[in-house]
Structure 1
């Protein structure tokens, strides 16, 4: 039988992914001072054991002030390289490529941990969790929401420092053994804030019409491309629409994607939303049309993400030419073995090739016994 598209290889820069199932970045809010630890090692490593071809580590702050929360990963210091290298070595040893999402949260920085909802840490917890809070920065002095901190508007010096921090973080990512870097310009974080008129009310060359709003994100994108080896894949995560009247449109994002392609970016990871007040029409496969629109309009490969749950859905997306990769987040949390399970759904010959040797033979034997009864 013909190999399902989901399990056909895909070339991205100098790497070839063994299948089209990838893990999207997911913040774990479990770091201290930006350092990865055993939680991150196990969290990310289990996806390699489950058969994903590419595992992308969570939004990683290029500066300490660029973290979403005090418990986010960071890569602003050489000392943060070693624990990340443990992770890339584990992923590589188990058949997956390693990616990292470099990010700056902008006005959405210094926020409470999501399961707490507010800064209610006790004095003892503040010590054990390495609690910090700070004043965030943004394109304009506008808070993300009524409950958010008022940010400071960035000046030219601050913007240049952030641009350079992305490049420096890329150099560290290379030393940590990552195969791929993803530029985070989505979900209402700093670069998305510049792109969107929802958050960008500047009156200088970085605000106003789309050409100006794209200027700083593209400066960062160019600096990152210059810092990351030319043969290694570089991708961008983009919120294709804001889901807000007067916000970013699909047409805007096509223009941005074309600019990224011209800079040498290899793929657009298509998501949406991120700003307070968005009226998201959420449901199964709700963001797939955005991946299809960017793939066609900008003539660049795309990854689709967002409530893609079943192997059949993933296969149909690929067969319809709507995307080139299938990115899973919450579904991967729910089933870290999603790709190896998908093999049994889409390949009725009972293919167990992506299972680790330590467990595949046992699962095969279990299935053989159950299927015989």
Structure 2
């Protein structure tokens, strides 16, 4: 940032802006600006969803939501890169002042969930601090409370599908917000505060879906995607990228690295449900396909054993036979055939043993007859018989 211009005394609650100064925009800067705004919008929606019948609370939350929407729209007008004058900060001042005033009013509601209100206030303070840093020609640093790796499993009731989802994000508010939304959808959730922790957890447990942020310190989302794709087992876990980065280059890069979908962080709950359900159904379809191929391989190996006269692993055949589809029927028929073959072989072995026994008995009788014929007594009888015949 550079430049020096005239400063004017700001109105109450406004930030002092050097109107002649400029700022170099970058995807990371826009990401950091959107992150607290997304948290404000997300927690406002949670408050509205959790207490739809509390008119007083809703009346206090709606101004917070409206100011957040306006700030989000104004930040969305900025280009992904380039130099812009800090005069654009002036357009953010009115909604920011309204936001802080609305949050102050919301805090006075006795029934408002204190933790969620505190998170909205924290996000508001982070945004205010970043804009103040920009106005002062300083590099804004979005404070990441909880940026140190954290792992937490949200104790929620499992969905009928038993879906277990891992959320990897370095921002504590983002993790909590996504976890809460997924909890409302009936899923179990694990959380990781950085890419390295997320990969370790993926190696320890079997997850149905990974929700991944892109901009993180250390191992970022792109590198996590690359490592997942290089791992034969982990590459089967579908990845849904949820990031404040929205430019097409980031979206395309994530898809190329194997992500199944890309969503903005302030995604509507209905859209989140639809995308999560679609990703989970796609995984279930792939799992069914892999299971089918494994069972076909088991049955093929068993058939090869029959062909080669080797022992068949009937446990594997019986497991495949538990399927309710045509492959299961084929496995059950194959199992019956193997049993029939085994029974016929057993009968043939019994017959062979009987033949061998009879042959042994016949040989024994022949030996006994030969022994009698060669005895002196038998020879004398033969001589007497011959003498009688010659008379």
Work out which structure has the larger RCO, using CA pairs closer than 8 Å and 6 or more positions apart in sequence: 1
TM-score past 0.5 threshold? no
TM range (shorter): under 0.3
In the superposition, the TM-score normalised over structure 1's length comes to 0.28
In the superposition, the TM-score normalised over structure 2's length comes to 0.27
Give 1 or 2 for the bigger CA radius of gyration. 2
Select the structure that is richer in helix: 2
